[in-house]
Amino acid sequence: MAVWQSGDIKVNDLRLHYTRTGGDKPPVVLAHGFSDDGLCWTPVAEVLEADYDVIMVDARGRGRSDGPEQGYGSAEHAGDLAGVITGLGLHRPAVLGHSMGAATALMLAGTYPDLVRAILLEDPPAWWMADSPARFGAERQAQMRGWITELKRKTREELIAAQRAASPSWSEAELGPWADSKLRFSFNALNREGAATVDWPATVRRITCPALLITADPERGAIVTPEDATALQALMPQLRVVHIPGAGHSIHREQFARYIDVVRAFLEEVTANAER
């Protein structure tokens, strides 16, 4: 692996941390999931860095970024990411997001359409569905708090050993960054107070850039159902959907090779079209 850049940038009165592979290449911003941080993308970035300038951002309350007391909704995360893109002078990057990061990518493309070349969405929470408050609301937040609390009682070595046993399909390269992200996670990120209310269908309808939705198997823990994917395509007709079987919510960890093939093919197409 080449030496990567690491730095901080001031956005929305916060210090946000990022890691960047660098080079004069098309930029790709990676937005991580709820309890992860930027370096959880390390195995993906190592594959993409030959052809892309990959920027891995720690969302507020994660990694080495500041963790304010509130403001942890998709609108705030998208505003932060827009500030990073602008502050680093990135020219219309593609944005690949997982889970919470995929919701951030949707919000970013719908709110700041001129900043984004394309979005790639890995198993996002289906906020565009009418039943999303029941599926992803207070009860799920309580479950996440309990889960995070239990994880933070463990050492790094204990976290790695437990996750290795629980997820044998993950590569060894995934385990260290995953454990580190849990130890760095700020409990402030569980606070939904102060988050802006979002009209998700209206936001999604404003998205005009190319978009890819990567889905997996709900019976293995994936969030997006076939009904969710169909509804998102109805709001965003340009959306392409690719299903990767044999994976749950962390598709990039559970079916890495197939995931990379799908992501690279889409990025190559988007990049080629932009150069015409």
CA angle centred on 102, ends 201 and 213, rounded to 5°: 80
Cβ neighbours, 10 Å, residue 50: 10
Provide the residue type at 66 as one letter. D
Beta partners for 122? 98, 214
Q: In angstroms, rounded to a whole number, what is the distance separating the alpha carbons of residues 91 and 27?
A: 7
Write down the pTM of the prediction: 0.97
CATH class, 5-275 region: alpha beta
Domain extent listing, the chain: 5-275
Instruction: Assess contact for 168 and 156: CB atoms under 8 A.
Output: no
Q: pLDDT (tens digit, 0 to 9) for every residue of the chain, 276 residues total? A: 468 999 999 999 999 999 999 999 999 999 999 999 999 999 999 999 999 999 999 999 999 999 999 999 999 999 999 999 999 999 999 999 999 999 999 999 999 999 999 999 999 999 999 999 888 888 888 999 999 999 999 999 999 999 999 999 999 999 999 999 999 999 999 998 889 999 999 999 999 999 999 999 999 999 999 999 999 999 999 999 999 999 999 999 999 999 999 999 999 999 998 877
